[in-house]
Homo-oligomer: A and B are copies of this chain.
Amino acid sequence: MSDVARLAGVSIKTVSRVVNDEPAVHPDTAERVMAAIEQLGFRRNLGARNLRRGSTTGTIGLIVEDVGNPFYSELNRAVERIATSFGRQVLTGSSEENSDRERELVLEFCARRVDGILVVPAGLQHGYLVPEMRAGTPVVFIDRPAGDIVADTVLVDNLGGTIEAVTHLAKHGHRRIAFLGDSPDIFTAAERLRGFREGCVRNGISYDESLVSMRTPTQEGIGDAVKRLLHGPDAATAVIAGNNRVAVHLLRALAHAEYRPAMVGFDDFELADLLDPPVTVVAHDVSALGHAAAELLFARVQGDQSPPRKVVLPVHLVARGSGEVAP
């Protein structure tokens, strides 16, 4: 900036006035300054600006499990849309379902003085956030609640959705329904299992633990579970996939099976309608999730001091075929 000032033959402050479109600069002067800026390729240093003004940095942080997972990338996109409308930019990070990594990312973001943080929490302990939140960095939890603190949270109706899935299958005559979930440490997985249980109860089905598998989904693990749960005299006639990754592995495991059980997945996914049979899912609006969370965050950024809110978004069952076959 001082180079520009020298070249234009003005003071550094006048350059500042020009780049900030402040009035009270003579047009001729402004033009000289602009020319100098152009010539030198000057670009104002936003870091220094934010430091001096004590203003917001114009960035927010988004932490998800994996930015490469279509579920989270859609979330990312929705968040970005809102951020852009508020003139903010988005720093993203993948926690890889690792709470240490999550914490590292959060603290790094705080050190960068992001205006706010959106996080799909991996861990259950979030006490480390208390000082940051007290220091004025708003945090909104997405898809899963904070472990041990009270904070803004946006969730989907995991419980209701899974109950609906069970009911749907029961309505089509199924009494032995398997549930393939994810690691029970993950809130959504635990909650959906709870919904599965409750769904069984409501439909007069005795809950059978041997038909449940709760573990991080891998192709091999799901393959084994399929062999175990869908064969033999007490085999399940229907199966619920606890999330989109379970669903994909399950579909692959079933692809060449001689017997195909009825199936309902939690989370919609692209091409579900083009498979044979098309896959019935409990769908929810991922964009709406990101949208709601980001809106909530920006309300906080702009000074909303009301008590922490908990938003639960609805889900709905999309019947496409795979869930409507009889036992």
Bound complex: CA A109 to CA B112 (Å): 15
Smallest beta-carbon distance A113→chain B, Å: 6
* Copies of this chain, count: 2
Q: Are B74 and A68 in contact (CB under 8 A)?
A: yes
| Other-chain residue from B47, B74, B80 in contact with A57 (beta carbon distance below 8 A) | B47
Q: Using CB atoms, name the residue of chain B closest to A76.
A: B67
What's the nearest-Cβ distance from chain B to residue A100, in Å?
A: 13
- Please tell me if A24 contacts chain B, counting CB pairs below 8 Å: no
Given contacts A110-B43, A112-B47, A135-B41, whether A67 and B59 have CB atoms under 8 Å apart is: no
The interface residues of chain B lying within 8 Å CB-to-CB of A48 are 51
Interface residue from B66, B69, B89, B271 paired with A275 (Cβ < 8 Å) = B271
- A250-264: contact bitstring with B at CB < 8 Å (1 yes, 0 no)? 011001000000000
8 Å CB interface, A93-143 against B = 93-94, 107-113, 131-132, 134-135
A111 to B271, CA, bound (A): 41
> Is A92 a contact of B94 with CB atoms below 8 Å?
no
Query: CB-CB < 8 A to A131: which residues of B?
Result: 41
> Is A325 in contact with chain B by the CB < 8 A criterion?
no
Q: Which residue of B lies closest to A287 (CB)?
A: B68
Q: Output the least CB separation between A54 and chain B (Å).
A: 11
Q: Smallest CB–CB gap between A154 and chain B, Å? A: 18
A278–B45 CA distance with the chains assembled, in angstroms? 52
Pick the most buried of A46, A66, A93, A110: most chain B CB atoms within 10 A of its CB.
A46
- A194 CB to closest chain B CB, in angstroms? 29
User: Which residue of B is nearest A270, CB measured?
Assistant: B248
Nearest CB in chain B: distance from A278 CB, A:
9
A70 → chain B, closest Cβ, in Å? 5
Known A73-B67, A92-B80, A132-B41: A112·B46 in contact at CB below 8 Å: yes
Contacts of A73 in B (CB 8 A): 67-70, 72-73, 76
Chain B residues near A109 (CB, 8 Å)? 89
A309 at the interface (CB under 8 A from B): no
Within the complex, the shortest CB–CB distance from A221 to chain B, in Å, comes to: 18
Whether the pair B70, A77 counts as a contact (CB closer than 8 A) is no
Binding site for B on A (CB under 8 A): 41, 43-48, 50-51, 57, 59, 66-70, 72-74, 76-78, 80, 89-94, 107-113, 131-132, 134-135, 248, 251-252, 255, 269-271, 273-276
Extra contacts, 15 of them, besides A67-B67, A89-B112, A252-B273 (Cβ < 8 A), are A41-B132, A43-B111, A43-B132, A45-B113, A46-B111, A47-B47, A47-B51, A59-B91, A66-B77, A67-B77, A69-B73, A72-B73, A76-B92, A89-B91, A276-B276
